[in-house]
Structure 1
Amino acid sequence: MRVNFILNPPKNIKDRIYNGLKAFNLQHFPEADIQSLACIAEDDEGHFLGGLTGEIFTNTLFVEFLWLDETNRSAGTGRKLMETIEQEAKNHGVTHLYLDTYTFQAPGFYAKLGFEEVGRYTGFPTAGIDKIFLQKKID
């Protein structure tokens, strides 16, 4: 047996590992499709202001990315996006929302929306920054 350490591995190596893990994991999950989603904000002229992406799997929704252009931060746009996704999630049978954020991003924003911290990597991805894992039960 050989073990090789590879910096910046080619995509096919990463895909083989990911697909092998995914096949193993799916044996332990209920049979259900993963639904990809996006929720976007536009101004009255149709200019893109930002949005979020995520995935619904059975009764859970994971928010992958949320981004707003600088002029729309602290303007209520993020709250509106999250309120919209929560309502739509309920309509799809979702009972729990999950996401992660960094200490320099918006942990206080998510706390105001009712998210609770359930875990944290300290000093990740570098000293002085933490990655925070959050969840929220919705009714």
Structure 2
Amino acid sequence: MEDFEIYTPSADEVRSGELGRRMRQFNYQFVGEYGEAQPVWVSARSGEELIGGLRGFVFLNWLRIDLLFVDERARRSGVGAKLLESAEKQAIDLGAKCAALETFEWQARNFYLKQGYEEYARLDDYIKGFGLIHMKKELAKLRTSK
């Protein structure tokens, strides 16, 4: 194909989902049809105040954690561990076998290590001299140990 144009799609074109549908159709040839991503949302509050939460999704047997935040006043109280544990249990119920996330060096690498995650890749100097750390955990072990 020699006659083509590179352009910025309109918001309507992006919302139509055509590109994603076409990619899924291509993928289905190799791995068969798969379901949509399933959200995993967990929050914590003290009284009426939101003190933390986790947002992620399960897709293709993986829990992908996009965000885990705990208010500074509630850190080191077990809130983060409870949020993560609850999300992992939900993910297992949705068919997840493993979990993955990214964290910056100044964020929560050590916290995740304590929760059984392992570092499998790192992008050094990702921002202002800090690395972006890729972590994963096998959730199947949770099924057999609990």
| Aligned residue in 2 for 1:106 | 108
Q: From the superposition, tell whether residues 112 and 24 of structure 1 become closer, same or farther in structure 2 (CA, over 3 Å).
A: farther
| Aligned residue in 2 for 1:138 | 139
Structure 2 residue ranges without an equivalent (≥5):
141-146
Give the 4+ runs in structure 1 shifted more than 3 A: 1-4, 9-13, 22-25
d(CA) in 1 for partners of 2:92 and 2:80? 18
| Aligned residue in 2 for 1:63 | 65
d(CA) in 2 for partners of 1:23 and 1:107? 35
Write out per-residue CA displacement over residues 18-56 of structure 1, whole angstroms, 9 at most, x where no aligned residue.
963x3454231542111122100011x232111010011
Q: Does 1:36 align with 2:39?
A: yes
User: Alignment partner of 2:27: what SS?
Assistant: coil
Larger C-alpha radius of gyration, 1 or 2? 2
Aligned residues: 131
Q: TM-score of the superposition, structure 1-length normalised? A: 0.80
Which structure shows the higher helix fraction? 2
User: Alignment partner of 2:48: what SS?
Assistant: coil
Cα root mean square deviation, aligned: 2.5
User: Alignment partner of 1:133: what SS?
Assistant: strand
d(CA) in 1 for partners of 2:89 and 2:139? 9
d(CA) in 1 for partners of 2:108 and 2:34? 34
Q: Give the superposition deviation at 1:10.
A: 9.0
Q: Give the superposition deviation at 1:82.
A: 0.6
In the alignment, is the contact (CA less than 8 A) between 2:57 and 2:65 conserved in 1? yes
Residues 1-139 of structure 1: pairs in structure 2 closer than 5 A: 12=11, 15=14, 20=19, 22-26=20-24, 27-28=26-27, 30-43=33-46, 45-124=47-126, 126-139=127-140
Counterpart AA for 1:111:
L
Counterpart AA for 1:127:
K
d(CA) in 2 for partners of 1:19 and 1:120? 33
